[in-house]
Amino acid sequence: MTFQDLDLPPFVMKAIDQLGFQNPTEIQTAVFADVFAGTDLIASAQTGSGKTAAFCVPIISRLIENPASTALVLAPTRELALQIDEFWKQLTLFARGFPSACLIGGVSMQAQDRMLRKQPRIIIATPGRLLDHIRRRTVRLMKSTSILVLDEADRMLDMGFRPQLTAIRDELPKSRQTLLFSATWSPEMDSLSKEYLREPKRIAVGTVSKVAPTISSRTITTSQQKKNETLLEEVGRLRGQVLIFARTQKRTDRLARYLESYGVKSACLHGGRTQGQRKAALKAFSTGESRVMVATDIAARGIDVAGIQTVINYDLPQVPEDYIHRIGRTGRAGASGEAVTFLVPEERLEWRDIVALLKKTGSQIPKGSEGVAKQEVLKAEKGAPVQKASALKAKHPKGRIVPAGAPKASNPEAVPPTTGVITIPLVPAQVAPKAAVRRQVIVPSERIRVSLVRR
Ligand code: AMP
């Protein structure tokens, strides 16, 4: 199937051309005809498979067919909702009469009221904020909603949105088309789909929750004490955009500050930040102003930043499926990518569950990951003691340049100088006293700024 076969309006074809899409992806080929036909659908596809376009493109045609109708898309996170809205705007760039309203928390109600007064043809919302509007009577869904999309429905359930989803369902007309997208399936999902859909057709592309084959994965055995040091080394070695996942908001903040203190521009994204801060972080990361973004699992799904080359699992996710969603941030729409996972003894059990899931879904199992033997990790810790700041400074008075991709030299001084790569004298945060004096130096003959930590 090609886009030309679909008889799409010329303005959509122009937008698709501008977006650089040559042919529909697998999920798009699988769902287009049914969405056009008005069938209820349950669709599961690998992350990054192009599912946003899979529902947005045919929805435009449906809205043209019925000028009095509107669509509603529910998404679990603000970021995903914003991304869908952004895609919708790109798709309707060359047309008038398809305004959207994006209703998410953390943004003023008044601005959203203004968008709603423009009679949007599509509302893209997170469940909580949509309900706020319904209760204030600034949104009325009953009359015109002809298509409902539940995007990343499994995530909405994980995030505890079930009561809100039920309340929203009661506000919708019974006669409508419903499309449910979910990466995973559970008994709770089953009951949700029974509540929302009528004789749905099921479409699965690839194996549900499978790691895309274009992503290569590896593990690094380390310890909690040495994680920061290992991370610094990895980030210095890697090229391109790097997305790092940490478990808690505090750890995420701390890690971003730690990387910044070594001169690595790092954005930080988690649910404890304001909407403005979250938007700014995403912008800095997607424009490349920050090469690194540290995030909690809020970014595991939905975030679509083109060209993320590496995902690092600094901490393991608590829900095994999130491992697949996390690393799905790289290798999007057929591109290649790499996933690096830190393994520590404390997270052995979580890793065991992730490996079991990878096996079950027929995904590639990263090398060196058949269980993290505690002794092995402890041996690794013993063999490579954390270096004292003073010893490092004596050895590398001006820091050292690590060429990206270079093999680790046993004699660090033997590494040839280069430019453009981060320079890091490794002083783990744990051994650096709080009162440590930081100064910045420029390594002679290199155009690289180096941060040194000095006692
Ligand atoms: P999604 O799964 O919707 O988050 O999409 C993942 C990425 O695939 C996004 O960057 C889309 O812009 C891109 N994409 C969607 N459809 C196509 C297509 N037909 N050809 C190339 N890229 C696409």
Centre of ligand 1 to C-alpha 320, Å, is: 25
Percent of the chain surpassing pLDDT 90: 51
Q: Bridge partners of 292?
A: 242, 266
Distances (CA, A) of 156 to 106, 164, 185: 18, 10, 12
Domain boundaries, the chain: 3-204, 215-382, 389-454
For ligand 1, the distance from its centroid to the CA atom of residue 218, given in whole angstroms, is: 25
Helix H or strand E encompassing 268 = strand 266-269
pLDDT of 301: 67
For ligand 1, atom 14: residue with the closest CA: 50
pLDDT band for 382, please (50, 70, 90 cuts): low
Average pLDDT of the segment spanning 121-149: 96
- What mean pLDDT do residues 279-287 have? 91
Does residue 359 register a pLDDT over 50?
yes
Residue 204 pLDDT > 70: yes
DSSP 401: B
Per-residue pLDDT tens for 13-72? 999 999 999 999 988 999 999 999 999 999 987 667 889 999 999 999 999 999 999 999
- Based on C-alpha coordinates, what's the Rg of the chain? 24
- Distance CA(44)–CA(209), nearest Å, equals 8
Q: Please write the tens of the pLDDT for every residue from 90-111.
A: 999 999 999 999 999 988 999 9
| Residue the block writes with tokens 């941060």 | 451
What pLDDT is stored for residue 209 in this prediction?
61
Q: Give distance in angstroms: CA of 9 to centre of ligand 1.
A: 19
Point out which residues pair with 143 in neighbouring strands.
none
* 3-class state of residue 191 by DSSP: helix
Alpha helices per DSSP H over 137-223:
153-158, 162-169, 187-196
* Vertex 333: Cα angle to 332 and 337 (nearest 5): 35
Q: Is the pLDDT of residue 329 over 50?
A: yes
Per-residue pLDDT at 369: 65
Counting atoms of ligand 1 from 1, which one is nearest the CA of 333? 8
Token match 């790109």: residue?
90
Q: Which CATH superfamily is domain 3-204 in?
A: P-loop containing nucleotide triphosphate hydrolases (3.40.50.300)
C-beta neighbour count of 61 within 10 angstroms: 16
Ligand 1 center from residue 50 Cα (angstroms)? 4
pLDDT at 419: 30
Which of the listed residues 6, 18, 19, 301 should we mutate to test ligand 1's pocket, taking the one with most ligand atoms within 8 A of CB? 19
Pocket test for ligand 1, best of 1, 22, 52 (most atoms within 8 A of CB): 52
- The predicted pLDDT at position 100 comes to 97
The pLDDT of 401-405, averaged and rounded, is: 34
Q: Which amino acid is at 225?
A: Q
Q: pLDDT-derived band of residue 289, with 50, 70 and 90 as boundaries?
A: very high
Atom of ligand 1 nearest to the CA of 21: 20
**Mean pLDDT estimate for the chain:** 80
pLDDT confidence bin for 197, thresholds 50/70/90: very high
Q: How many helices (H) and strands (E) does the chain have?
A: 16, 15
Nearest atom in ligand 1 to the alpha carbon of residue 48 is: 2
Specify the pLDDT at position 58: 95
Q: What is the mean pLDDT of residues 161-174?
A: 94
Cα distance between residue 167 and residue 231, in whole Å: 44
Residue in 207, 274, 230, 198 with CA at minimum distance from that of residue 49: 207
357 within 8 A of 209, measured Cβ to Cβ: yes
pTM, entire model: 0.63
Share of the chain above pLDDT 70, in %: 77
What is the Å distance from ligand 1's center to 211 Cα?
A: 16
Contact (CB, 8 A) for 182 and 335: no
Atom of ligand 1 nearest to the CA of 87: 12
Alpha-carbon gap, residue 90 to 428, rounded angstroms: 44
Quick check: 321 pLDDT over 90?
Answer: no
Residue nearest to atom 20 of ligand 1 (CA): 21
- Cα angle value 404/408/413 (rounded, 5°): 95
Helices 109-117 and 127-136, axial angle in degrees (round to 10): 70
Residues at CB less than 6 angstroms from ligand 1: 21, 24-25, 28, 48-53, 304, 306, 332-333
Please give the distance, rounded to the nearest whole angstrom, from the Cα atom of residue 24 to the centre of ligand 1. Answer: 9
What is the whole-number distance in angstroms between the Cα of residue 328 and the centre of ligand 1? 13
| Cβ atoms of residues 339 and 313 within 8 Å | yes
Say how many Å lie between the CA of residue 151 and the centre of ligand 1: 15
SS3 content of the chain, % helix, strand, coil (to 5): 40, 20, 40
Pick the residue whose CA is nearest to atom 19 on ligand 1. Answer: 24
Instruction: Indicate if the pLDDT at residue 273 is higher than 90.
Output: no
Task: Return the ligand 1 atom nearest residue 22 CA.
Answer: 20
From the CA of 3, give the closest atom in ligand 1. 19
Helix axes 51-65, 26-37, angle to 10 degrees: 20
Nearest CA to ligand 1 atom 12: 50
Nearest Cα residue to 75 out of 293, 301, 385? 301
Q: What is the mean pLDDT of residues 256-263?
A: 94
Residue nearest to atom 4 of ligand 1 (CA): 48
Yes or no: domain 215-382 corresponds to CATH 3.40.50.300: yes
| Nearest Cα residue to 203 out of 212, 213, 193, 211 | 193
